[in-house]
Amino acid sequence: MGHDKPLALVAGAGAGLGQSLLARFAAAGLTPVGLGRNRPAAPVGIFHTLDLADERAVPDTIAQIIADHGPPKIVVHNTAELVISPFSDTTLQDYQKTWTSMVQTAVLLAQATLQPMVRAGGGSFIVSGATASLRGGAKFSAFASAKFALRGLTQSLAREYQPAGIHVCHVILDGIIDSARSRDRHGLDPARMMDPADIADAYWQLSLQPRSTWTQELDLRPASEGF
């Protein structure tokens, strides 16, 4: 079967950054396909509702997507599970929940997409990180430990798959992403938040980098953010 447009696959394609990524890829002429637990009100492109930690559903769903649209040219892992709690109140289930949501989902996504991408001649596999990928703050032990693990996984994948033509990149999003939900939660001036459309454009630019100058890790933050 012929495929007119390259596939862009976003896991964790909810309202906000996920949908902005799909919109950016669609504007560039790719076929945008989103995966996530909750279907947005008006999703960009094709959306599949599923548990991204389901070890049976994820491979089957992605295999069907590849059969329909061809191997992906761009894959983005954009899931998150935020737990903020004092260590004494953080349960083992909290740690399991964050690991499952952020690390297990990335493993399943990579297992289902990287080899088809290699066989197709290459592509980009981009992972959304956070400030907690680099340092663990008080009350963030569950979240930070999973983000550290996700960063390590991404580094290992980059070293293994870069020679095969896959650009694996970890993006540290050091700031609050602007959305209606985050405005309500944090009460920040939008000028001090990260515009999801601008983040999406940065991801697109990563996918265009020539092989002689691949970024493995990129820090993005508002101009007002301290670091």
Please tell me the predicted confidence (pLDDT) of residue 2: 54
CATH number of 49's domain? 3.40.50.720
Query: Which run of H or of E encompasses 60?
Result: helix 57-69
Answer whether 0.75 is exceeded by the pTM.
yes
CB 10 within 8 A of CB 66: no
Q: Let me know if residue 226 belongs to a domain.
A: no
Rounded to 5 degrees, φ, ψ at 190 are -55, -25
Question: What is the domain range of residue 19?
Answer: 7-220
Which secondary structure element, helix H or strand E, spans residue 74, and what is its range? strand 72-77
29 within some domain = yes
155 part of a folded domain: yes
- The answer to the question of residue 2 being in a domain is no
Domain contains 164 = yes
Q: What is the pLDDT of residues 134-145, one digit of tens each?
A: 999 999 999 999
**If you write DSSP's letter for every residue of 81-140 in order, what string do you get?**
------GGG--HHHHHHHHIIIIIHHHHHHHHHHHHHHHHT-EEEEEEEEGGGT-PPTT-
- Placement of tokens 């992605």 in the chain: 62
* Span 163-214, pLDDT tens digits: 999 999 999 999 889 877 777 676 777 778 899 999 999 999 999 999 999 9
The stretch 33-53 carries a mean pLDDT of 95
Q: By the 8 A CB rule, do 156 and 201 touch?
A: no
The average pLDDT across 64-75 equals: 98
Count of domains in the chain?
1
Structure tokens at 221: 């933050």
Q: In the prediction, which pLDDT does 96 show?
A: 97
Mean pLDDT for all residues in the chain: 94
In the prediction, which pLDDT does 189 show?
A: 75
pLDDT computed for residue 181 by the predictor: 72
Asked whether residue 131 is domain-assigned, the answer is yes
Q: Is residue 89 situated within a structural domain?
A: yes
Q: Please indicate, yes or no, if residue 32 is contained in any of the structural domains.
A: yes
